[in-house]
Chains A and B, each alone.
Chain A
Amino acid sequence: MEGHSNVHRDGEFHHHHSHGASTHHAGDHHLLQVEGLTVAFRMYDDAASEGEGRRAEGEGAGGPSDGSSKPGRIARWLRDARLFLAAPQREVPVVHDLHVSVHAGEIVAVVGASGSGKTLLADAVMGLFEPNALVSGTVYFDGKPQDASSLAALRGHGISLVPQSVASLDPLMRVGRQVRGFARGGDDAARSARQRQLFARYGLGPEVERLYPFELSGGMARRVLLCCALMDNPKLIVADEPTPGLDLALAQAALADFREFADGGGGVLLITHDVEQALSVADRVAVFLDGTVVEETAVESFRSPDLLRHPFSRQLWHALPEHDFAAAPARSPEAGATAEGGQA
């Protein structure tokens, strides 16, 4: 933990995660560490334009250059024209001051409501952004601080994304070709061999190579997407809602694959809205609320609400099926322990 704390200069503020049983610090540092991530979008805003106009009006009336004097009128006219021409934009913050980290060999689940901006975390780690996004914060990978271009270089070369659905495959390209990908300086024969090996490992027959994405079943598509990610031997997998639309057995198979990858020394950042699922497979859970991680804790803390610090985490705990979906106080800490004990 000593070397680890060198990396965390801001450790005193938001770095209070507890470690999972199987977690270790490879090379004394985190595989991935995101600090103070803030993402905002610049967008045109109709409501603001009206408000601004009114505010400007108010200033004009109260100011020294009253509307009755000629220079005042011209000034106001110019200002109105400028407001009219330059449609006002505002920054809409979606993610603010987010901290999360992933160690080698562990799955960290980022749990939060659907549509709350969790995907932006995946974007940030992958260095992928919409043109109107304003991003700040620090991302460390393998202990080294990254900038936009080094993150871009890590895409597919250290960090791989497992996307949500088959829509992330080119609809007009055969699956085998897509899994092999178009990496720079790739050796075709080696990549073909690697792809066949992955397909065999995940029970995809050689005929699957020749299929188009629309011909894949849900389970096949999921394995194909995982193969895409594993193609380049990543150290870290970012899985963005990888299980919706899959039945329980398939979802569990997917999670087992991630567990296997983590047990092999990789790191997994699992972004999901499904608390139960997250608890069943993850080592640590980062609770995501209103654009930030309010609590990052070992999955064991979910045995009892008393171990959870943030009220929202406790709400999540109470919302689990085995806790009656109720926001009532827990009957006994053991109830949670028996439910989660097996996986923790």
Chain B
Amino acid sequence: MLMVAVSMVVFSLVSLSPVDPVAANVGQAALSGMSDEKLATLQAYWGKDVPLVERYASWVSGLLRGDMGDSLRFNAPVAQVVAQRAANSLVLMGIAWLASGVLGLALGIAAGVRRGGAADRLVKASCFVLAASPTFWVALLMLIVFGVVLGWFPIGFSAPIGKAAADVTWLDAFHHLALPAITLSVVGVANVALHTREKTIDVMGSPYVRFARARGESTGSVVIHHGLRNLVLPALTIQCSQIAEIFGGSVLVEQVFSYPGLGQAAVSAGIGGDTALLAGIALVSAALVFGGNLVANILYGVVDPRMRKEYSRG
């Protein structure tokens, strides 16, 4: 259902967009020097005059046979482009997701436990600044500081320029991945930390924490025995909603770092009127986000005894 809706929206939006795929892909100079017949052939090849519904129907029937169509922009099957790009992107997003999750959780708890303390003020202030900073701007700053001025990291791409793909080592790949991943993590941390902080404050103010204290538990003991346990559920929710955030951020970050991932492919597909590729990417990302939330829901049942018992009863 979700997939159908997503693909339909992508198709309608692309057909509404003023981008002419022929003009966008051939280039201005070639277009102006092109004969009318040649233009007509190209337009027919790219299916410019095929009505939206028909295009959609043929795409869906192809999809059902396992064929996601061909990308106009990359002149290759969509499945292949997506697979190759997704490999790059998933590593990037995975690292960013984990790093922002772990760091955000730690900072959020540290801030929430001693509300109003020095750590809390520091975390809160930096998170507000980060949350208010546009992703692309943070990416640019990172690029300028660490890529250009300090020269610690390469300024873009997923491999050294001019090196044959076969010669690219893991170290090279990681070195190129680091800066975009750090940027994406830093942007994500603010969100996770602020949400975790709120939840931590709730938990620390709860009757069961008050009672635990009344029984002589120290703050550290309370956090370890009751805090973490009760923060698992909200943290799961935050982490899974964060998948969508990280995905959105990756589009911008990949663009700034010229990192060949899904996000960058999506941008060029959009600009080039490459419906098949855009729909393919949209499907994959919708599946990822949906999958993340599904996993969260299943994990709730595993973690929370209240839900577990309800399932076994119902």
Q: A215 contacts B213, CB within 8 Å?
A: no
- Distance of A184 Cα from B215 Cα, bound (Å): 11
Nearest CB on A from B112, distance (A): 13
> Which of the 9-residue segments B41-49, B182-190, B262-270, B303-311 touches chain A?
B303-311
A173 beta carbon closer than 8 Å to chain B: yes
- Distance of A131 Cα from B120 Cα, bound (Å): 15
A312 beta carbon closer than 8 Å to chain B: no
Closest chain B residue to A179, Cβ basis: B215
A165 beta carbon closer than 8 Å to chain B: yes
18 A-B residue pairs with CB within 8 Å:
A126-B214, A128-B210, A155-B213, A155-B216, A163-B211, A167-B206, A168-B207, A168-B208, A169-B208, A170-B226, A170-B230, A172-B303, A181-B217, A182-B212, A182-B217, A182-B225, A183-B217, A228-B211
- A interface, CB within 8 angstroms of B: 126, 128, 131, 153, 155-157, 160-161, 163, 165, 167-173, 181-184, 212, 214-215, 228, 231-232
Instruction: Report, nearest first, the 8 A-B pairs whose CB atoms are least far apart.
Output: A156-B216, A168-B211, A161-B214, A156-B215, A155-B216, A168-B207, A212-B305, A167-B207
B151 beta carbon closer than 8 Å to chain A: no
Which residues from B are CB-within-8-Å of A160? 214-215
- Distance of A184 Cα from B258 Cα, bound (Å): 55
Which residues from B are CB-within-8-Å of A212? 305-306, 309
Nearest CB on A from B82, distance (A): 40
Which residues from B are CB-within-8-Å of A131? 115-116
Which residues from A are CB-within-8-Å of B121? none
Nearest CB on B from A244, distance (A): 14
Q: A170 contacts B214, CB within 8 Å?
A: no
Nearest CB on A from B124, distance (A): 16
Q: A170 contacts B212, CB within 8 Å?
A: yes
Which residues from A are CB-within-8-Å of B226? 170, 173
**Apart from A157-B216, A170-B230, A232-B215, what are 10 other A-B pairs with CB-CB below 8 Å?**
A131-B115, A155-B215, A161-B214, A168-B207, A168-B208, A169-B211, A171-B230, A172-B305, A173-B226, A184-B221
Partner of B304, one of A168, A172, A182: A172
Q: Which of B199-235 contact A (CB under 8 A)?
A: 206-208, 210-218, 221, 225-226, 229-230, 232
Which residues from B are CB-within-8-Å of A182? 212, 217, 221, 225
- Distance of A170 Cα from B215 Cα, bound (Å): 13
Which residues from A are CB-within-8-Å of B232? 172
- Distance of A153 Cα from B215 Cα, bound (Å): 10
- Distance of A232 Cα from B217 Cα, bound (Å): 12
Which residues from A are CB-within-8-Å of B116? 131
Closest chain B residue to A154, Cβ basis: B216
Q: A228 contacts B309, CB within 8 Å?
A: no
Closest chain B residue to A228, Cβ basis: B215
Q: B207 contacts A165, CB within 8 Å?
A: yes
- Distance of A228 Cα from B229 Cα, bound (Å): 20
Quick one: which of A153, A156, A170, A171 has the most chain B CB within 10 A?
A: A170
Which residues from A are CB-within-8-Å of B215? 155-156, 160-161, 181, 183, 228, 231-232
- Distance of A213 Cα from B206 Cα, bound (Å): 15
- Distance of A170 Cα from B119 Cα, bound (Å): 26
Nearest CB on B from A160, distance (A): 7
Closest chain B residue to A160, Cβ basis: B215
- Distance of A307 Cα from B132 Cα, bound (Å): 68
Nearest CB on A from B311, distance (A): 14
Which residues from A are CB-within-8-Å of B206? 167
